[in-house]
A and B are shown apart, each in its own frame.
Chain A
Amino acid sequence: MKRKGFRFYFKIYCKILAQDLKSKMSYRADFIISTIGMIFTNISGFVSFWILFRNFPQIKGWDYYEMLFLYGFSLISITPVQCFFDNNWSLRQYVYSGDFIKYCFRPINLFFYYQSEVFDVKGLGQLAFGIGTLVYAWIKIGLGFTPLMLLKITVFLLTASLIMIALQNAAAATCFWIQNSFYVLDLAYRFRDYAKYPITIFSPVFRFVFTFVMPIAFIAYYPSLVVLRPDTVPVLSWLSPLIGIAFFYVSYRIWMFGAMKYSGTGS
């Protein structure tokens, strides 16, 4: 297969995106209700956060606004997985019904084509919510603002989001091997709720587990330290972009490996 450039894929993505949005708009009620549902989820997440921490001035050296910063950071970094990789949730059905085979016959990257088919607009509300929270906490902490900081936070947010994408890809790909893989995907989905806590609250054993075994700490904690506490940035924080890329690449290979050995259902 001839390798195609970035511009080619970008153009195709825009075309598929337009089709997807058009088809979504034909179910307008569903679209509106889903958007409201997403807003509900974010509000309730924030309310629980507020109820939990309003009583306590600080938790293990983390004050309210620092926790809020982490919360906003985690919301933003889990947005790309929501927006661009939502089709992973349907992979299971495509594979079982045999419809997945249609993706195998296109002359473009299989993974790209599959993921590009769905763009989840609901994620944008979450993005706005996350940015609002982050900016509010940023101002309250008084971190100041320089272009370098903006660059840093953008880079680290983007690479942090790769971790969640990687986890979800790998979890979705399990459907090539096992039945009823919904639970695996659901498990990975729940990780995003745990990302918003500083990893220092855990005991050393679980700190290790959440850093190296299930890299939840790289979704928000480590990358956010670069901006939040610039004086004491652990090495792992600086490494987090590399780890994000590595994880994404591995998950991509797993996904493709599963897809390549897929032989259809014969129908």
Chain B
Amino acid sequence: MRTKKYLTLTRAGILEALQFRLSFLVMVIGNLLYLIVVYYLWKAIYASAGTEVVNGMTFTDTLIYLVLATALFNFMEMYTVWEIGRNIQSGKIVLDLLKPMDYRKYLFWSYSGSFVTQFFLTFLPTFIAVSVVTHGAVPLRMNLLYFVISVVMAVSINYSIDFIVGTICLYTESIWGINIMKQVIVLLLSGATIPLAFFPETLKTVMYYLPFQSIYNAPLSILLNGNPQPRTVLVTLGTQFAWCIAMFVLSKLFWKVSLRQITVNGG
């Protein structure tokens, strides 16, 4: 009974996502275009570098990393900040707060439907295509299991961060600016645009202490490592787990405190 209400939201999300088939097509074209640019850019970079391996990554590694980072991005981007921000501006948030479900949970589960569709429509095809194109350069062993665990935690951390940023909208009533700041910081510092291995040493150290690398860098580096040391896996997943809890608590507390702030104009 308890899970049923969540799954209903998931189902509604799937149906909603399937309504917009054309936008899905446009999104696929956009991603293909991005991948073409990334492919040739890095090919040119590796050709000019003169060595096979740059910063411990081969061209194939880098390509797989970036392609799957894009796929992960499509999978994880939930536009939470926009949703919360718009609901605050329009006043609809009052209706959502009255629902017999925690707002944080409600928002998450109403998006879960697009997780399912995105997984089957973008992530899985991309993953299979990458494995085939690179002739099995993606190791398919235990790391696959670690990867799944890691992605689940990444989704959670990403959602918590989004929720915190969305809560800030309660104070500022600015959506675009807040959202773009979040997006820029997360994409750059998580290693989604450039693999973490390419960053200068000092910057890299700083980034390992921040939660963002747990979103993209952690799952992707676990996936690309065919024979990981048990210690590496433990440290990576452990760090992610710690951030998972920390961000969860933080986002919940922040929301609770901020809810007193809420001002709704009509609605």
Which A residues form the contact surface with B (CB < 8 A)?
27, 29-30, 32-38, 40-41, 44, 47-48, 51-52, 54-60, 178-180, 182-184, 186-187, 190, 194, 197, 201-203, 206, 214
Whether B172 lies near A48 (C-beta < 8 A) is no
| Chain B residues whose CB sits within 8 angstroms of the CB of A179 once the complex forms | 20, 22
Interface of A is mostly: helix
User: Residues of B within 8 Å of A, CB-based: how many?
Assistant: 40
Can you name 11 extra interface pairs (CB under 8 A) apart from A40-B181, A197-B37? A33-B181, A37-B181, A37-B184, A38-B177, A40-B184, A51-B203, A56-B45, A184-B26, A187-B30, A197-B41, A201-B41
Q: Is the CB of A183 within 8 A of B181?
A: no
Taking CB atoms, residues of chain B closer than 8 Å to A52 are 45, 194, 198
Asked if residues B194 and A190 are in contact (CB atoms below 8 Å), the reply is no
Is B178 an interface residue when CB atoms closer than 8 A count as contact? yes
**Nearest Cβ on chain A to B36's Cβ, whole angstroms:** 6
Interface secondary structure of B, over-half rule: helix
Given the known interface contacts A27-B173, A34-B174, A60-B47, the answer about A55 and B30 at a Cβ–Cβ threshold of 8 Å is no
Residues of A within 8 A of B41 (CB): 197, 201
* A-B pairs with lowest CB-CB distance, top 5: A33-B177, A34-B177, A30-B174, A37-B177, A201-B44
Contact assessment for B30 and A34 in the assembled complex, using a CB-CB cutoff below 8 Å: no
With A29-B172, A44-B188, A187-B26: A55-B49 Cβ-Cβ less than 8 Å: yes
Q: Is B27 an interface residue (CB 8 A)?
A: yes
Choice from B30, B54, B198 contacting A51 with Cβ under 8 Å: B198
- Is the CB of B193 closer than 8 A to any CB of chain A? yes
Minimum distance in angstroms from A66 CB to a CB of chain B: 13
The smallest beta-carbon distance between B116 and chain A, in angstroms, is: 19
